[in-house]
Homo-oligomer: A and B are copies of this chain.
Amino acid sequence: MKKTILTLIALTLVLAFAAISQTPPAHQHQVVLQMNVDGMDSWNQLFANIQNIQAVFGADKIQIEVVAYGKGLSLLLKTNSAFEERMKKAIAGGVVLAACQNTMRLRKVTTDDLFPFASQVDSGVAELIRKQEAGWSYIKAGE
């Protein structure tokens, strides 16, 4: 009987800890940034945003993923040399820059058209949902 009780208590403790562990630890931050517009102003603000939140939280304490879709896909095109250095710096700081494959198909953009440091996701908008479901903060970047 006591064994049964102890087993039940152990199980209960595991369940309680599981419930608690679903909330993110206080020292870690995660944010997904929506980028579905083009234009210098929006992209300048995006990289200022990234720099600011890395400064506030610490670059090693916050995971940042930028999801580029719709008109925002142009950010990651090799032709966008004006932002290449800022993107490389972001990548070096651990930021993920992800291109939406649905937009790529729609706009006939191939992997070769993108900077080699760009990641890819099946669907930009689905990625925004998945990250929020995983507890990430979400921000619509740009104007």
Give A residues with C-beta under 8 Å from B.
1-2, 5-6, 8-9, 11-13, 15-20, 22-24, 29, 31, 34, 36-37, 41, 45, 48-49, 52-53, 55-57, 62, 70-71, 102, 106, 122-126, 128-129, 132-133, 137-140, 143
Contact = CB atoms under 8 A, between A and B. Distances in A.
In the complex this chain forms, how many copies of it are found?
Answer: 3
Contacts of A9: 5, 8-9, 12
Say whether chain A's binding surface is mostly helix, strand, loop, or mixed: helix
Given A1-B2, A15-B20, A71-B143, 11 more contacts: A8-B9, A9-B9, A16-B16, A16-B19, A31-B129, A34-B140, A49-B125, A53-B123, A62-B129, A138-B138, A139-B140
